[in-house]
Structure 1
Amino acid sequence: MNNFSLNELTLENVGQWPKSVKIGVIAFLSILVVGMGYWLIIKSNFEQYEQLKEKEVSLKQEFELKQHQASNLQAYRNQMQIMQERFGNMLKQLPTQNEMPGLLEDISKTGIASGLTFELFAPQPEVQHDFYIELPIKITVVGNYHQLAVFLSRVAAMSRIVTLHDFMIEGAATDKQKSGTGDQLIMKMTAKIYRYRTL
C-alpha cells in the first residue's frame, strides 16, 4: 500500500488510507477545528476582555476623581461657608435704597467736618449691573492738603462701601487773594456708592 493514488482515496474507504495520509488529514482537521474554535470562541472573548480592561482603566480614573472630591468635600464645605459669611458681611456694607440719602448726607458732612468747601456735589444717574447698582457722585471740594487727606481717609473708613475714582487735584486759582496763604487746592473726583440689586 505504499503506492497510492489520490484518486483512489474516497470517504468510503477511509480505513484503507495509508497511515501518513490519515495523520495528515487528522492534523489538518485538528488545525481547522482549533482555528475555528479560536475564531468563534476565543477571539470574541479576547475582544471582550480588551474592552473590559479599557473600562477598568476609565472606572479607576473615575473612582480616583470621586475619591479626591469626597476627601475634599469637607474642605469645600468649609470654604463655601467662609465665602457665604464674607458675602453676607459685604452685603451688610451695601446700603439699602432707603439708606442712600443718609449716606449722601454723611459724605457731605464728612467733607464739611474735614474743613472742606463743596463747590459741586452732584449725584449722577444710577448704573445697573448684574448684582448691584452703582450711584456715581461728582464731587469738587476746596481745601488744603491736610483737609483733603482727612476727608479721603474718613470716607474710606465709612461703614458702607464707597469707592473714589478719577482724582484731579490742582491749585486754586484765587486762593492767594482769599486767604493769602496760597495752600488751597481744588480736588475733583467721582465717588461711587453701591447697593445690592434685588432680582
Structure 2
Amino acid sequence: MKASELKNMDMRELIEELNSLDFENVGGWPAPIKAGAAVLVLIAVLLMGYFLVIKDLNAALEQQQREEASLLKSYENKAFEAHNLDQFRAQLVEMEQTFGALLKQLPKDTEVPGLLEDITHTGLGSGMEFEKIELKEEAEKEFYAELPIEISALGDYHGFGSFVSGVAALPRIVTLHDFVIEWPTDKEAKALGLLNMNITAKTYRYSSQDGGSQSTGPARGQNK
C-alpha cells in the first residue's frame, strides 16, 4: 500500500472518529483527541484574553506613556523657566525701559507742529526748497496712531541724501516712505539741475484708546 493511501486512510479514520465523539462524555474521548481539544481551547482562551483584555491594556499603556512624555516635557520647560526666572525678570525690566524710551520718541498732539518745523529746518539746511509739506489725516492702529506727512521739494541728490540723514537723526521717530524723484516741470529749475522729490514722512503718536492695562504701562514709561 502506498504512503498516500495510508495517509488518506488515516484522515478518514480521524474524521470518522471525530464524528463519533460524544460531546456529553468528554472524559471518554481518546487521549490524543483530548490533548488536541485542550490545545484548541487554550489557544481560544489566549486569543479571547488578548482581544478582550490585553489589547485594551496595551492601548491604555501607550496613552499613559504619551502623557508621561508630555508631562515630562512640560516639567522640563517649567524647571528651565524657574531656574532662569531672575534672568527673565531682568529682561522684562529692560524691555519695559526700552519700550518707555521708544514711547518718549512718539510725538504728542501738541508736539506735531514742532516736528513739522524740525523737518522743514532739516530740509532747508540740506539746500532743499519745499513746495509742499502737509500733514494728512492720521490712521489709527492697534495701540498707536500713524500720522503721514506729504512732502514735495526741489533739490539735488546730495541735498536729498542730507535731508534723509537729518530726518533719521531727529529725536522723534520719523520714517520715510514712497520716494519719487523726477525732473521738475519748471524749466528754470531743470536747467539748474534740480530734481523734484515727492516723499511721505510718517511719525507716530501713542494711542491710549485701548484703555486699562495697556495704557498704564506706557504712561509709566513716558514719565521716566
TM-score class, shorter-chain normalisation, is 0.5 to 0.7
**Residue type of the partner of 1:135?**
L
Instruction: Supply the distance in 2 between the matched residues of 1:145 and 1:39 (Cα, whole angstroms).
Output: 88
Q: Cα distance, 1:79 vs. partner? A: 9.2
Question: Is 1:66 aligned to residue 74 of structure 2?
Answer: yes
2:151 aligns to what? 139
Q: Is the 8 A contact 2:182 2:195 kept in 1?
A: yes
**Residue type of the partner of 2:154?**
V
- Structure 1: state its 5+ residue gaps: 1-9, 11-16
**Residue type of the partner of 1:63?**
L
Matches within 5 A, 1:83-94: 83-94=95-106
Q: Is the 8 A contact 1:145 1:183 kept in 2?
A: no
Q: Cα distance, 1:154 vs. partner? A: 0.4
The equivalent position to 1:157 in structure 2, one of 149, 160, 169, is 169
**Residue type of the partner of 1:160?**
R
Q: Cα distance, 1:59 vs. partner? A: 2.1
TM-score by length of 2: 0.61
2:178 aligns to what? 166
Equivalent residues, number: 184
1:57 aligns to what? 65
The equivalent position to 2:198 in structure 1, one of 188, 191, 195, is 188
Q: Cα distance, 1:191 vs. partner? A: 0.7
1:197 aligns to what? 207
Instruction: Supply the distance in 1 between the matched residues of 2:173 and 2:97 (Cα, whole angstroms).
Output: 17
Instruction: Supply the distance in 1 between the matched residues of 2:190 and 2:51 (Cα, whole angstroms).
Output: 102
> SS of the counterpart of 1:186?
strand
> SS of the counterpart of 1:95?
coil
Q: 1:11-43 CA deviation, whole Å, 9 max, x = no partner? A: xxxxxx98xx7x9xxx9xx99xx99x9899998
1:5 aligns to what? none
TM-score by length of 1: 0.67
- Structure 2: state its 5+ residue gaps: 1-23, 211-224
